[in-house]
Amino acid sequence: MLELYTSEPNTFFLKPLIALAEKKAPFTAHYFDAANFAQFAPDFPTNLEAQLQLEREGPLLVHDGGLICSTSFMLEYISESLPGPSLMPADPCDAYRVRAWAQYLGASLGSVVPVLGCAKYLRPQLAALDPALVDRSIAAIEPVERRAGWLALRDGTYSADYLEAVNERLAAPVARIEKALREGPYLAGPDFSAADIDAYPMLRVLPDLAPVAVNTQATPCIADYLDRIGARDSVRAALGTAKTAHPERQFVPGLEASRWG
């Protein structure tokens, strides 16, 4: 049995939804509201690896009782374990590039995009709730490393200087992706692959979160890429799972907010 615990189809949560749609794989979806602490309910599936993984708040794939977290690993698992077209290139060098992109994007966009999204959308959402309830919910989060990401939204970490520094960290990964897309239509070889499923969900929100860095004039190749990938049937199907009018506005803390200062 294949089950996916997922929230709004944005950033990390969008990745496995696209992969499963590419595979046309049947699965049972368990929706949870990640921005409202639903992943901390007592009956939510978890293990030590899921609690400590760098993406923090999900999604989780459960296959025949085994729990898989961290979306770059999840994409490769979906590619290799389920019938349908492979998401990994047949060429060994291109397969290496998929894994290299996953590592790089996780350390760069994966650490920056959640901060920008939380600053713009999650912080005011939490501010509109009962402060005592929010504080109790955060205080109950374990482990402490995971709790710290939520505390950063309330303790002054998200200062103007901090967010300026976060925006500056976008320059290198955006330039690297733009250069790669000038050289070919996809990130890892001539065909759509897991590298593109890793990249697209993080890139698609940047014209909103960082419009100076990502726009049709500054990054024409990324703009074209977003249009092409966004037109795929799998992407449209994944985005169609949204429960809210603006899934692109749901963000949860990642690793960086818990340790930048």
pLDDT of residue 55: 86
φ, ψ for residue 240 (rounded to 5)? -70, -5
Q: Which two tokens stand for residue 171?
A: 């320059």
- pLDDT for residue 51: 85
CATH architecture of 92-258: Up-down Bundle (1.20)
CATH 1.20.1050.10: which residues of the chain? 92-258
- Given this model, what pLDDT does residue 75 score? 97
How far apart, in whole angstroms, are the C-alpha atoms of residue 134 and residue 35?
11
Taking the CA atoms of residue 250, residue 253, residue 254 and residue 256 in that order, the dihedral angle to the nearest 10 degrees is: 130
3-state secondary structure 64-77: CCEEECCHHHHHHH
Helix (H, G, I), strand (E, B) or coil at 99: helix
Placement of tokens 């239509």 in the chain: 185
Q: Where does the chain hold its CATH 3.40.30.10 domain(s)?
A: 2-81
Angle at 159 between CA 153 and CA 51, to 5 degrees: 30
Distance CA(20)–CA(179), nearest Å, equals 29
Select from 39, 5, 30 the least CA-distant residue to 149.
Answer: 39
Give the span between the Cα atoms of 15 and 155, in whole angstroms.
31
State the sign of the Cα–Cα–Cα–Cα dihedral 191, 195, 201, 202: negative
Residue 28 has a pLDDT of 98
Closest CA to 145 of 254, 6, 7: 254
Label residue 228 exposed, middle or buried (CB < 10 Å: 0-12, 13-18, 19+).
middle
- Domain 2-81: give its CATH architecture: 3-Layer(aba) Sandwich (3.40)
Q: Are 14 and 66 a contacting pair, CB within 8 Å?
A: no
Q: Which amino acid is at 85?
A: P
Radius of gyration over every alpha carbon of the chain, rounded to an integer in angstroms: 18
Tens of pLDDT along the chain (261 residues) come to 999 999 999 999 999 999 999 999 999 999 999 999 999 999 999 898 888 887 889 899 999 999 999 999 999 999 999 999 999 999 999 999 999 999 999 999 999 999 999 999 999 999 999 999 999 999 999 888 889 999 999 998 999 999 999 999 999 999 999 999 999 999 999 999 999 999 999 999 999 999 999 999 999 999 999 999 999 999 999 999 999 999 999 999 986 544 444
